[in-house]
Amino acid sequence: MARVRLVEVTKRYGQTVAVDRVSADIAEGEFVTLLGPSGCGKTTTLRMVAGLVEPTEGVILFDDQVVNAIPTHKRNVGLAFQSHALFPHLTVAKNIAFGLSVKRRPKAEIEQRVNELLAMIELEGYGDRMPAQLSGGQQQRVALARMLATDPRVLLFDEPLSALDRNLRDTLKYSILALQRRTKKTAIYVTHDQSEAFAISDRIFVMNKGRVEQAGTQLDIYLRPATEFVANFVGDNNALRGTVVEVHEDSNHRRATIRCGSLTVQAHAPGSIAPGDRVLAFVRPENIEVLQDGASADEPGLIEGAVEQVVFEGPAVRLLVDADGTPLKVTVSGVQRLTLLDAQRKRLRLRLREVSVVRDEAA
Amino acid sequence: MSAAVAPTPTYRRALLAPRRISAGLQHAYIWLWLVLFALPFVTTTLHSLRAPEGGLTLESYRYVFGSFKENLLLSVEVTVATIVLNLFIAIPAAYAIVRHPIPGKRFILSTLNLALYTPGAVMGISLAITYAFLFDIPRTFVGLLGAYVVGTYPLMLVPIIVALRDLPRVYEEAARTLGANRLTTFFRVELPLLGPGISAGILLTFVIVFNEFLVTLFIAGPNTTTAALRVYNLTRTGFLPSTAALAATMQFVSFIIVLVFFKTFGSRYLKGTYLI
């Protein structure tokens, strides 16, 4: 158990910057996910924490100890790999025992610990099997047990579920979370799968091109994306380019009125946004309400548009609406979706909710 | 309108169905080559059993075990020593070549493999000259060992390089995060996983060294006559049944050792390769 801190950590390979001044302060017992597309530097960051990659610049601390100079085998971290990385020539029990036996613990203690861990991953009696004789999910559970055997200070996960099929991923991600909660160990989890990140994290660090774009809770990331990249990478979004007309502030809200072409939208505005700024407004397809016929027409901020496309996806209906030249993706779920199946070419009135706004870097 | 019913096709197991004929031909083809390959060994064995007055006898083999034992022992000793030395050279060399960026890697590799392309006689002469003028070790066990190592370490090196290249780094990394230092990681994780490459190297080295006589001819002395060289020397006295017995024994020993090797390591390390 340890608090993990990264201070301006950078990794360069020749001219390429793999990780660019990443800072993080991860509390003891916290579950943090590094989320990003491939090549964003998340795995390199994790490997620097494990000691498998040496930072070019910056400091990594466990509690108050600088670990930069401590080699991997003395850092006492647990690392779960994308491929389970079980030693193929050793039995399940010997795999789990590996860390303890390397540390020359007494035989009786090792045996007891192995049995304990086998029970925990619900694979009692599998100790004598070879890894190749287990299913993918079982292998990954053994890998988890092996990593916990030495009681590591920090748990590191490098896309541990990406090689497994979907159902297995869904159950195993909760097993991982349960393990972490039970052991109360600090965990850093790398993934490119946002549903995984959203399901298990206390905090998510969204990374892109070696930098942390945003660090925050699921709600922060989803409803208040800090950058254009985050808004586009996480979930689906409608992006509207426009200019801030007015900012209205009261005790706990800061709202901006934004003019996007012929549309005017209301958005949550971060403090850095001022009238006259060129911005991007983001509204998620599922945060657009389709108003029923007969609802009052005079409400400010309502948008009207013609339905161009209707796709029935089962639990949801996806609409493509043309709002005065601006295409809007709208997702409707619940029973209301069934009333929209023949909405093609009809005009609908829409209410945009939870609109977020970021500065338009391109402008 | 009634639907047209397709007649149910009937399958007969005809003796001369094209499929059976082709299968039969394939088997015959394989057996033909097997017999052809085994033929020399069979004739040698039959010849070795021939008694001077006609009929069959094991007399020649008594002679073999009387005087051939020492040569055979020497062959086994020098082969084992070569294998051990080759391992000590090849494993670090493979690591250096695979894991470290060395300029001119391809050139180094082909130079290292030079010994494989050198004709045995050329190799023999070069070694004989080198031994006589540089090291003063002609006609000794050390001289033999040196010659075999120079001639066969590429056979150890190449399979280990291949195995190491195919060995994912992730095992090493996993071992390191579990607290194993570099040395422990090597002995407990990487070395066992290099088993396929190492056993292939051992097998190749054994087959070549144990049966090598051409290079040996140039550098061996009266006390360092290997089994293979002895067989060669005896042929000069004509194809006596005792010579045939020696040859057959040699073949048999070689065969048994390879068989034992496969039994011990084959199922573990060579499964999935074309060897098994």
> What does the pLDDT look like over B79-117, one tens digit per residue?
999 999 999 999 998 988 888 888 888 888 888 788 778
The ipTM of this complex is 0.83
For residues B228 and B125, what is the distance between their CA atoms, to the nearest angstrom?
18
A54–chain B Cβ distance below 8 A for any pair: no
Looking at CA atoms only, how far is residue A77 from chain B in angstroms?
6
Predicted pLDDT at B272 = 46
Predicted pLDDT at B264 = 76
A107–chain B Cβ distance below 8 A for any pair: no
Q: Is the pLDDT of residue A45 over 60?
A: yes
Listed residue (A148, A145, A143) closest to A159, CA to CA: A143
Listed residue (B214, B241, B211) closest to B228, CA to CA: B211
Q: One-letter amino acid identity for A227?
A: T
For residues A68 and A57, what is the distance between their CA atoms, to the nearest angstrom?
10
The answer to whether residues A173 and A199 touch, using CB atoms and an 8 Å cutoff, is: yes
Which residues of chain B neighbour A114 with C-beta distances below 8 Å? none
Q: If DSSP states are collapsed to H, E and C, what string results for chain A?
A: CCCEEEEEEEEEECCEEEEEEEEEEECCCCEEEEECCCCCCHHHHHHHHHCCCCCCEEEEEECCEECCCCCHHHHCEEEECCCCCCCCCCCHHHHHHHHHHHCCCCHHHHHHHHHHHHHHCCCCCCCCCCHHHCCHHHHHHHHHHHHHHCCCCEEEEECCCCCCCHHHHHHHHHHHHHHHHHHCCEEEEEECCHHHHHHHCCEEEEEECCEEEEEECHHHHHHCCCCHHHHHHCCCCEEEEEEEEEEEECCCCEEEEEEECCEEEEEECCCCCCCCCEEEEEECHHHEEECCCCCCCCCCCEEEEEEEEEEECCCEEEEEEEECCEEEEEEEECHHHHHHCCCCCCEEEEEECCCEEEECCCC
Q: In what side-by-side order are the strands of the sheet with A326-333? A: A288-290, A347-352, A302-312, A316-323, A326-333
A98–chain B Cβ distance below 8 A for any pair: yes
Looking at CA atoms only, how far is residue A73 from chain B in angstroms?
4
- Average pLDDT over chain A, rounded to an integer: 90
Q: Is the pLDDT of residue A249 over 90?
A: no
Which residues of chain B neighbour A149 with C-beta distances below 8 Å? 178
For residues A314 and A53, what is the distance between their CA atoms, to the nearest angstrom?
46
- Average pLDDT over chain B, rounded to an integer: 81
Mean pLDDT of A209-218: 94
Q: Is the pLDDT of residue B3 over 70?
A: no
pLDDT, greater one: B201 or B237: B201
3-state secondary structure at position B50: strand
For residues A263 and A254, what is the distance between their CA atoms, to the nearest angstrom?
20
Q: Do A87 and B181 touch (CB under 8 A)?
A: no
The answer to whether residues A138 and A173 touch, using CB atoms and an 8 Å cutoff, is: no
Q: In angstroms, what CA-CA distances link B81 with B137, B158, B246?
A: 17, 19, 23
A72-86 in b/e burial notation, b at 16+ Cβ within 10 A? bbebbbbbbbbbbbb
State the pLDDT confidence band at B274, using cuts at 50, 70 and 90: very low
Mean pLDDT of A220-229: 91
| pLDDT digit string, tens, across residues A138-180 | 999 999 999 999 999 999 999 998 888 888 888 889 989 998 9
Chosen for mutation from B177, B190, B191, B193 (greatest number of chain A CBs closer than 10 Å) is: B177
Residues pairing with A320 in the sheet: A309, A329
Predicted pLDDT at B14 = 65
Structure tokens at A107: 């035989």
A50–chain B Cβ distance below 8 A for any pair: yes
Looking at CA atoms only, how far is residue A39 from chain B in angstroms?
19
Which residues of chain B neighbour A99 with C-beta distances below 8 Å? 178-180
Q: Is the pLDDT of residue B273 over 50?
A: no
| pLDDT digit string, tens, across residues A8-30 | 999 999 899 999 999 999 999 99
Predicted pLDDT at B10 = 62
For residues B110 and B112, what is the distance between their CA atoms, to the nearest angstrom?
5
State the pLDDT confidence band at B7, using cuts at 50, 70 and 90: low
Predicted pLDDT at B236 = 77
Which residues of chain A neighbour B177 with C-beta distances below 8 Å? 50, 52, 72-73, 75, 77-79, 147, 156
Q: Is the pLDDT of residue A221 over 90?
A: yes
Which residue of chain A has the CA closest to B190? A87
Predicted pLDDT at B275 = 47
Structure tokens at B148: 């075999």
Mean pLDDT of B43-66: 76
Mean pLDDT of A26-44: 93
In sequence order, what are the residues at sequence separation of 6 or more whose Cβ sits closer than 8 angstroms to the Cβ of residue B86? B149, B152, B153, B155, B156, B201, B205
State the pLDDT confidence band at A318, using cuts at 50, 70 and 90: very high
Q: Do B177 and A72 touch (CB under 8 A)?
A: yes
| pLDDT digit string, tens, across residues B259-270 | 888 777 766 665
| pLDDT digit string, tens, across residues A264-280 | 888 888 888 888 889 99
Mean pLDDT of A256-262: 87
Q: Do B174 and A87 touch (CB under 8 A)?
A: yes
Which residues of chain B neighbour A81 with C-beta distances below 8 Å? 170, 173-174
In sequence order, what are the residues at sequence separation of 6 or more whose Cβ sits closer than 8 angstroms to the Cβ of residue A288? A238, A328, A330, A331, A350, A351, A352, A353
| Closest CB to B174 among A74, A81, A150 | A81
Structure tokens at B233: 């020397």
Which residues of chain A neighbour B168 with C-beta distances below 8 Å? 83, 85
Q: How many helices (H) and strands (E) does chain B have?
A: 14, 0
A317–chain B Cβ distance below 8 A for any pair: no
Q: Do B181 and A81 touch (CB under 8 A)?
A: no
In this structure, what is the dihedral angle of CA atoms A63, A110, A79, A31, given to the nearest 10 degrees? -60
Predicted pLDDT at B1 = 46
Which range has highest mean pLDDT (B43-57, B147-161, B214-228)?
A: B147-161
Chosen for mutation from A47, A67, A81 (greatest number of chain B CBs closer than 10 Å) is: A81
Q: Which residues of B touch A (CB under 8 A)?
A: 168, 170-171, 173-181, 184, 188-189, 192-193, 195
A&B contacts, CB < 8 Å: 65
Which residue of chain B has the CA closest to A83? B170
State the pLDDT confidence band at B22, using cuts at 50, 70 and 90: confident
A42–chain B Cβ distance below 8 A for any pair: no
Least confident of A36-45, A250-259, B46-55: B46-55
Predicted pLDDT at B269 = 60
Q: Do A102 and B179 touch (CB under 8 A)?
A: yes
Which residue of chain B has the CA closest to A49? B177
Q: Do B177 and A79 touch (CB under 8 A)?
A: yes
Looking at CA atoms only, how far is residue B182 from chain A in angstroms?
9
Which residue of chain B has the CA closest to A99? B178
Percent of chain B at pLDDT exceeding 70: 89
Looking at CA atoms only, how far is residue A44 from chain B in angstroms?
14
